[in-house]
């Protein structure tokens, strides 16, 4: 029997309606408390992430804790400015008066977070909802069991549940939460589950953000600096053992530099993880047995160029590059979400473009080139959420860049100011002066249409 969360939701509704979350002082204090909670418990967070994903402390900081703290630093610096009303132009047709846009919190927000970055992808949207003045229920993934339990405990110890609460549990808990009425829903996860969340939100006409995934291409043309490209591709793909929604999902390499890139990928991977990545303290593991079995199934598709080793008892799959993969194979049709990188070649830009367009719109795209013409073609010809030129994944680390998908990779965005805007409704108010009352709009109109045309045309 599903748990009833009605009392929790009702208590948050009462707290929000009291106006307690609206002031700058309250929001600033709560964001500082969140920052302090993270900083004081860094060691415990690292330990939980290691238990769930075997991540090194460096990856734990760079990909999780540090990302949240950077967004918090940016938000704390700019919050007062973001909260100010914005002036809007007033046309002569409605003069005299003043127009303002007021950022208004939605109210009660549900944040559903995934398992692959269980700290960053839970706390970054949480920060945005808090900055905007909302109450939040956070639903972390039951798959990252240790990190989710830690977040639940820390938030319970540092915040009142009528303001922030964490609901643990599996599919039934998520279903019960989705059945309730929310003012906003923020979901990060797969496209399949995203459709379920969107359908649930539609029952109450609830606005939402969907941060999904997809087949993110990494294109390497003949002009690229191959050694640098290989190092940055290997880092982006095998960080967190490839369990990253914006990791390069497949390589498209111009034919004449294919062999050189493969050779440099081998060199980079050996530099990163040694000759046996399983023994490296810096190489994570697959989250659970089900995902391990799913990924192992891809290893038989195409020809193994690099890696291919696995150990079920250790949830280990080596950094792997596959060649000679067909366009209709499962590894090229499904989001991989693991340390397996299919490699295909292309002749020219039109060929590369056609291969990318044959797949759903990606969350990210990457191009390695020294050609300004290729850069321009990427920007104009490819449709994707966001990406990098001559790097992978680092666009996510720039607070000033909104992060989000398009098409099947999701909609809506967050990070930096965009997080505040995502969780705020733009309330528009026009204040009309009562000192003067022009008769233009009042009947009888006579021939005033001529004046209306001059003012409004």
| Cα dist from 151 to 44, 69, 119, 164, 267, whole Å | 10, 15, 8, 12, 39
Query: Backbone phi, then psi, for 67, in 5-degree steps?
Result: -60, -45
Residue 167: which of 44, 1, 33, 5 has the closest Cα?
A: 5
Alpha-carbon Rg for the chain in angstroms: 25
Tokens 């006579």 belong to 446
Using alpha carbons only, give the angle 397, 114, 394 rounded to the nearest 5 degrees: 15
If 0-12 CB within 10 Å is exposed, 13-18 middle and 19+ buried, where does residue 375 land? middle
Residue 348: which of 456, 253, 447, 452 has the closest Cα?
A: 253
Dist CA 310 CA 278 (whole Å): 9
Dist CA 215 CA 40 (whole Å): 37
Which is the catalytic residue, given 59, 64, 135, 245? 245
Which is the catalytic residue, given 211, 264, 335, 388? 211
The answer to whether the Cα torsion of 260, 266, 270, 272 is positive or negative is positive
DSSP string, 61-87: IIIIIHHHHHHHHHHHHHHHHHHS-EE
Residue 211 is among the residues annotated as catalytic for this protein: yes
| Cα dist from 287 to 187, 243, 252, 372, whole Å | 20, 9, 28, 40
Dist CA 183 CA 172 (whole Å): 21
DSSP 8-state symbol, 21: T
Q: Which residues are catalytically annotated?
A: 211, 245
């Amino acid at each position: 029997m599903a748990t009833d969360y009605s009392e929790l939701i009702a208590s948050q509704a009462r707290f929000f309606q009291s106006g307690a979350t609206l002031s700058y002082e309250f929001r600033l204090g709560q964001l500082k408390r969140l920052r302090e909670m993270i900083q004081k418990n860094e060691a415990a967070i690292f330990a939980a992430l290691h238990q769930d994903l075997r991540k090194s402390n460096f990856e734990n900081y760079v990909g999780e804790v540090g990302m949240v703290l950077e967004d918090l630093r940016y938000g704390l610096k700019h919050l007062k400015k973001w909260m100010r009303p914005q002036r809007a132009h007033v046309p002569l047709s409605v003069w005299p008066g003043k127009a303002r846009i007021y950022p208004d919190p939605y109210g009660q927000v549900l944040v559903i977070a995934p398992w692959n970055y269980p700290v960053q992808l839970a706390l970054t949207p949480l920060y945005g909802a808090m900055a905007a003045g909302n109450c939040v229920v956070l639903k972390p993934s039951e798959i990252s069991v240790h990190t989710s339990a830690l977040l639940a405990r820390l938030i319970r110890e540092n915040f009142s549940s009528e303001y922030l609460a964490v609901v643990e549990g599996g599919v039934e808990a998520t279903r019960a939460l989705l059945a309730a009425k929310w003012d906003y829903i923020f979901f990060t996860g797969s496209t399949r589950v995203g459709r379920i969340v969107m359908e649930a939100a539609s029952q109450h006409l609830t606005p939402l953000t969907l941060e999904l995934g997809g087949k993110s291409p990494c294109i390497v043309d003949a002009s690229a600096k191959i050694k640098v490209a290989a190092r940055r591709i290997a880092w982006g793909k095998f960080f967190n053992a490839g369990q990253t929604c914006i990791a390069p999902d497949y390589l498209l390499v111009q034919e004449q530099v294919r062999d050189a890139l493969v050779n440099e990928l081998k060199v980079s991977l050996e530099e990163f993880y040694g000759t046996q990545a399983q023994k490296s303290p810096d190489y994570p593991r697959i989250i659970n047995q089900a995902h391990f079995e799913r990924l192992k199934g891809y290893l038989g598709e195409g020809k193994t160029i690099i890696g291919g080793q696995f150990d079920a008892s250790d949830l280990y799959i080596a950094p792997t590059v596959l060649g000679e993969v067909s366009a209709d194979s499962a590894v090229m049709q499904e989001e991989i979400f693991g340390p397996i990188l299919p490699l295909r070649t292309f002749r020219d830009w039109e060929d590369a473009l056609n291969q990318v367009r044959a797949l759903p719109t990606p969350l990210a795209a990457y191009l390695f080139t020294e050609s300004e013409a290729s850069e321009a073609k990427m920007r104009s010809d490819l449709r994707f959420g966001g990406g990098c030129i001559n790097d992978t994944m680092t666009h996510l680390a720039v607070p000033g860049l909104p992060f989000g998908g398009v098409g099947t990779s999701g909609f809506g965005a967050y990070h930096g100011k965009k997080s505040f805007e995502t969780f705020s409704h733009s309330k528009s108010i026009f204040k009309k002066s009562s000192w003067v009352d022009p008769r233009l709009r009042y009947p009888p109109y006579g021939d005033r249409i001529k004046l209306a045309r001059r003012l409004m045309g």
